[in-house]
Structure 1
Amino acid sequence: MTIRRSLLTVVAAVGAVLVPLSPAAAEPLESTPIYSYADAVRETVWVDTGLTSPQGARVRVAADIIRPREAQTAGVKVPVIMDASPYYTSLGRGNEGQRKTYDSAGRPIQFPLFYDNYFVPRGYAVVLVDLSGTARSNGCVDVGGRSEVASGKAVVDWLNGRATGYTSATGSTQASATWSSGAVGMIGKSWDGTIANGVAATGVDGLKTVVPIGAISSWYDYYRAHGATLTMGTPSALVSRVENSAAANNCATVKSTLDSGSPSSGDMTTMWRERDYVPNAANVKASVFVVHGVNDLNVKSINFGQWWNALPATVERKLWLTQAGHVDPFDFRRSVWVDTLHRWFDHYLMGIDNGIQNDPRSTVEHQPDVWKDDVSWPVVTTPKHLYAHASSTAGVGTLNSAPPPPTEIPVWARFTDNRSSEYTWITNPTSTSSARLIYSSPALTADNRISGTPRITVTATSSAGAARLTAVLVDLGPSTIRNYRASGEGITTLSTRSCWGESGTGDSACFLDTATNKTSTSANIISRGWADLGHYASLDSRKTLSPNTPYKITFNLASTDQVIPAGHKLALVIGSTDSSYIGSAGSYPKIAVDLTKTVLQIPMTGSF
């Protein structure tokens, strides 16, 4: 962990006010551990969300709070780091699956993750919120819907004096956040970070920053891919993994709404639109620090790409992209992460002018543990249109920027859906396969960076009334990458521990260390996308296909940032049902692709 020379002194007797040692100090200021973690106030407040349960009761969510006692004694108001989650008493949080614990009186003891251990001594409060229908909150789990977004927003409002909190789940004794400065930062991985996105999209006052890690921006894009059904289960099945017993007994209507709103047709519905935060990204006023894995095959990286691109230009932002999968930066770049997050919160929650807003906007891992900073993201690229060209080998050809010759005669390439996997398709890239098409560029003469969101337009026919399409981009050449397909998704958990902050009885600041898990490959998939051909016209309604009739469809591939080294080739693979990630359309159609009307749009820095 980076340790800076302290530029702050504390005069506890006059309120623990942070005062710079010298007005002319050239180095950035930082908050320092001046408060007692052992003596911190630990309490729970139940905040009224303004909503009612299916039984007509007001929904209150439990907010477990830990904050410096000395600050309250001295009348110093403190900012809040908040993580709103459904997982605190079910799956747990972090690499070690930590759960909240309480003493016999119900007072919170263990606050999962390191935020409390590290930041409370530095003058922050940490607030961990149980989303509606989970743990000690009432109401229903609605999978990113109105109730869960209200769970987070209501607590931000309460911290700013605009909502009502209570000392118990059902009592009438009110609790006020008189100790709060009103500045709130929401953070969290996966579902937690998703709620941070949703709350930010409401434009709520007082939310100064959000740090979504591997977070969803549209729940449709978690469960669907342009009409294709991703193998992620169903929203109602996810509910059953986190809901408390009261919600399990009382929220059948909510689960029924989730089921009816997520039809297997892949249609975009009102239910999905309610859970799409991207259209409301224009409301975001908070700064945004996004962390995502380009190989995250749980929360697909399209989620960060579309969120980032939709944010207003006025929003100050930062981005970390890792080669790992669905992994917290605490476990793939720990010391740098803690230091960067410390500076980020100091600036946006405490107002310390430490210059982090002027740091490089994006930091990307192109090789294991090798990071590159850039002033923006995506980096400035030249949009390329690449075309597939047939060769004498069936289903195998070349990929280049030369458009097909103007002709009215289609050039058909054919394959059959056999529900195999993209990992099978990329083997033997020079050989014919009945299950896919593959087109490869010449060997690159220089490194070529892909930065952004590729998109493909395919014109295809199907022998059946429904069909899936998959497009995969592959780096062909020897590479060493993070082993994101292994159980740790690019990391290995060690037996040693390192400590980040202060420990207390029942809440240790020491966490298992991790190391990078690497593997070698000769064909690395760098982006993929899926679609249901029946959604060629719109996501709103799936059309039945007329056999052997051409349909034109355009869909996005995963947002990414990758370098294709000199000497390697870039390949485009087109298949049907990618059994690793999507369900089939219900049959095994024969598919024909018209190469003259198929084009890959890709953001690249170089050429070939």
Structure 2
Amino acid sequence: MVAAPAWAGEDHVRGGQTVPVYSYEDAVRESVWVQTTLDNDRDGVPDKVAVDITRPRAKGKVPVILEASPYYSCCGRGNESELKQYDANGVITKQPLFYDNYFVPRGYAFVSADIAGTGRSTGCMDVGGREEVLSAKAVVDWLNGRAKATYADGTPAVATRWTNGRTGMIGKSWDGSVANGVAATGVEGLETIVPISAISSWYDYQRYNGVLRIEDYPEYLHRVVNGRPAGVCDAVVQGLDEGSDDATGDYNAYWAERDFRPDARKVRASVLIAHGLNDINVSTTQFARWWEGLRAPKKLWLPQQGHVDPFDIRRAEWVGTLHRWFDRWLQGLRNGVEREPAVTIETAPGTWAHERNWPAAAARTTRVALGDGNGATGTLGGRSTPGSRTWDDNPDLSEAAAVASPNAPVRGRVAFLSAPLTEPVRISGTPTVTLKVQVDKPTTELTARLVDYGTATRVNYLGRGEGITTLATESCWGASTAADDACYRDTAESTVTAGHAVLTRGWQDAAHHVSLRFVTPLRPGRWYSVTVPLQPTDQRIATGHVLGLIVQASDNEYSTPQSTGATIHLDLRGSALNLPLIGRLPTPGAAAPVVAATPASPNRVAPPRSRPLLPDGTGLRSQK
């Protein structure tokens, strides 16, 4: 028997969509604690998840929009870092973000959960692990009558009295990562997820193919969001330190527990992904690998910003998409959103296109040869040529110095340039660089960058707002109360005109060239083929511009380099750049073209390594 839609007998559906008819001011606001099956704080009592609810006073049962987060009391949500607020009795009065303001009047409940070990929940935060995921899953189970909860006074709280259990999870960054993890369990009742700039593999967030991003990172993240008294979670923190294994960079059982991609086939929920193509915090491999593994109905938004919510990029269009998406999958309204083009992508500042899939169907993997050029600056394209390059690991070499002058000798890097493009080309997918190298140490880190050399106005993703500027004006998205308004500072896209831009980056520890699960030390004097995967991207390069490949060893800006001081010899004929390409690179001349030296963007902020990272942004200041 097919269940009646959530809106049966109600009047909040008109013209095929939900409309605001319920009083937001008079909504039911309550707080409950959901019991889990875990006890990782080892106090002999099942861990409990604090859940705050805002729901309409509807006649029938309503679906739920759920955001499970570690940030509700430590760091805040959104561009304005909003925190939860409570009355004197501990009942929620203000929910962060606009989801409750906008959707509750339209016949949805909004539920926010403090994941285990954070906010008012018990248990211990295990940073992407089993406790984190199952604590949020327990909320979905409770909404569907499969778990127990109580109010603060200990009386039972029964969700099935007011909800039909149809749940959608949403969240940016860490919150979206939790949604991915819960969906990967295949839990019944989770109908859709909206992960924004989210993690699908915590190994890839804290490691770059064996390269350490920041030392003692899981412990740092635990400390930032921990809501438990001192000492309660010491055993869990010790487990984070030992399991993450900074010493080797190996992918092990600890990381496998925090890798949701192998279970993408279990995902029953539809998936709406949004991810900045220039996100250097939660890198683009996180969405790309997750996207390719999903078999459920799916949709993708790809702006050119960094770690920014689409609400702060293209606000009206994003809210409209969310509205129709939730109406379709939670309210059961046949509005056709799933039949629209699956991909919405920003091709240039303020210019958007719709496509059927991603990567673009016309993209073909093209092997681009590395040529000797003038013996200093090499060439891209044409036929392979004999030749070699030799450089020493220079961990102090900045990205700005490495890419700004491709024709000049720079210690610690080698450069290869295409001929000026005779037609525009597009890179859509995951580039890789295969390097045939000989190294005089047991390992070295290898870093590769693709650079567009040519003056253009581009989204300023390296600026302080990661591609947006916050304005003084406000706009309102839903109903308000005295305690919780629906108004948010407007934003504008931030751009910069410069002579070059880094399109994508990639890193690889050479001793992990066989497998990420173990180290295979290199033997001096022996040649090895090492592939450096770059971050997935989608970029267009204009006629007359030059495509550059910059290769160096360790990178002190985007990682914590384990520099070995190696000398690297590169055999050009055995090496190549592999591009998912639409269009053709022109055949290069005998020597690489001369590219004018250009300084780094004047709006560039401090590089990532100099700022404390959270999966919700580059430091507590950022776009949460």
Say whether the fold is shared (TM-score over 0.5): yes
540, 561, 584: which one aligns with 2:538: 561
Match of 2:477 in 1: 500
Is the CA contact (8 Å cut-off) linking 2:124 and 2:131 kept in structure 1?
yes
Q: SS of 1:52's equivalent?
A: coil
Task: State the one-letter code of the partner of 1:567.
Answer: G
Match of 2:148 in 1: 164
Q: SS of 2:179's equivalent?
A: helix
Deviation at 1:345, TM superposition (A): 0.6
Distance, in Å, in 2 between the alignment partners of 1:195 and 1:305 is: 17
**RMSD across aligned C-alpha pairs, in angstroms?**
1.6
Distance, in Å, in 1 between the alignment partners of 2:228 and 2:186 is: 33
TM-score computed with the length of structure 2 as normaliser: 0.90
Q: SS of 1:50's equivalent?
A: coil
Which is further off, 457-466 or 150-159?
Answer: 457-466
Deviation at 1:476, TM superposition (A): 1.1
Distance, in Å, in 1 between the alignment partners of 2:244 and 2:437 is: 26
Distance, in Å, in 1 between the alignment partners of 2:180 and 2:577 is: 30
Match of 1:48 in 2: 35
Is the CA contact (8 Å cut-off) linking 2:364 and 2:582 kept in structure 1?
yes
Task: State the one-letter code of the partner of 2:328.
Answer: H
Matches within 5 A, 1:258-407: 258-264=240-246, 265-312=248-295, 315-380=296-361, 381-394=363-376, 396-404=377-385
Is the CA contact (8 Å cut-off) linking 2:506 and 2:533 kept in structure 1?
yes
Is the CA contact (8 Å cut-off) linking 2:63 and 2:166 kept in structure 1?
yes
* 2:4 corresponds to 1:16: no
1:140-167 per-residue CA deviation (whole Å, 9 max, x = no partner) reads 1011110111122111111111111111
Is the CA contact (8 Å cut-off) linking 1:481 and 1:519 kept in structure 2?
yes
Matches within 5 A, 1:500-579: 500-579=477-556
1:316-366 per-residue CA deviation (whole Å, 9 max, x = no partner) reads 111111111100111111111111111111111101111111111111112
Distance, in Å, in 2 between the alignment partners of 1:56 and 1:367 is: 56
Task: State the one-letter code of the partner of 2:107.
Answer: G
Match of 1:412 in 2: 388
Match of 1:193 in 2: 176
1:57-110 per-residue CA deviation (whole Å, 9 max, x = no partner) reads 2011011100001x1xx2x11111111000000010000000000000011011
* 2:64 corresponds to 1:80: yes
* 2:54 corresponds to 1:66: yes
- Structure 2 CA distance for partners of 1:234 and 1:531, relative to 1, 3 Å: same
Matches within 5 A, 1:213-232: 213-231=196-214
104, 110, 123: which one aligns with 1:126: 110
Is the CA contact (8 Å cut-off) linking 1:385 and 1:401 kept in structure 2?
no
Is the CA contact (8 Å cut-off) linking 1:194 and 1:215 kept in structure 2?
yes
Deviation at 1:174, TM superposition (A): 4.2
Task: State the one-letter code of the partner of 1:527.
Answer: T
Q: SS of 2:489's equivalent?
A: strand
Is the CA contact (8 Å cut-off) linking 2:433 and 2:578 kept in structure 1?
yes
May I ask how many residue pairs the two structures share in their alignment? 575
Deviation at 1:18, TM superposition (A): 4.9
1:251-308 per-residue CA deviation (whole Å, 9 max, x = no partner) reads 1111111111122221111100100000110101111111001111110111111100
Match of 2:596 in 1: none
Distance, in Å, in 2 between the alignment partners of 1:56 and 1:555 is: 47
Is the CA contact (8 Å cut-off) linking 2:150 and 2:156 kept in structure 1?
yes
Unaligned runs of 5+ in 2: 1-6, 586-624
Q: SS of 2:268's equivalent?
A: coil
Distance, in Å, in 1 between the alignment partners of 2:450 and 2:329 is: 38
Task: State the one-letter code of the partner of 2:32.
Answer: V
212, 219, 236: which one aligns with 2:195: 212
Is the CA contact (8 Å cut-off) linking 1:362 and 1:373 kept in structure 2?
yes
Unaligned runs of 5+ in 1: 1-11, 21-27, 405-409
Distance, in Å, in 2 between the alignment partners of 1:233 and 1:387 is: 39
Q: SS of 2:275's equivalent?
A: strand
* 2:41 corresponds to 1:57: no
Match of 1:145 in 2: 129
Match of 1:33 in 2: 20
Q: SS of 2:36's equivalent?
A: strand
Distance, in Å, in 1 between the alignment partners of 2:322 and 2:156 is: 36
Identity of aligned residues (%): 46
Deviation at 1:232, TM superposition (A): 7.3
Is the CA contact (8 Å cut-off) linking 2:145 and 2:158 kept in structure 1?
no
Task: State the one-letter code of the partner of 2:191.
Answer: K
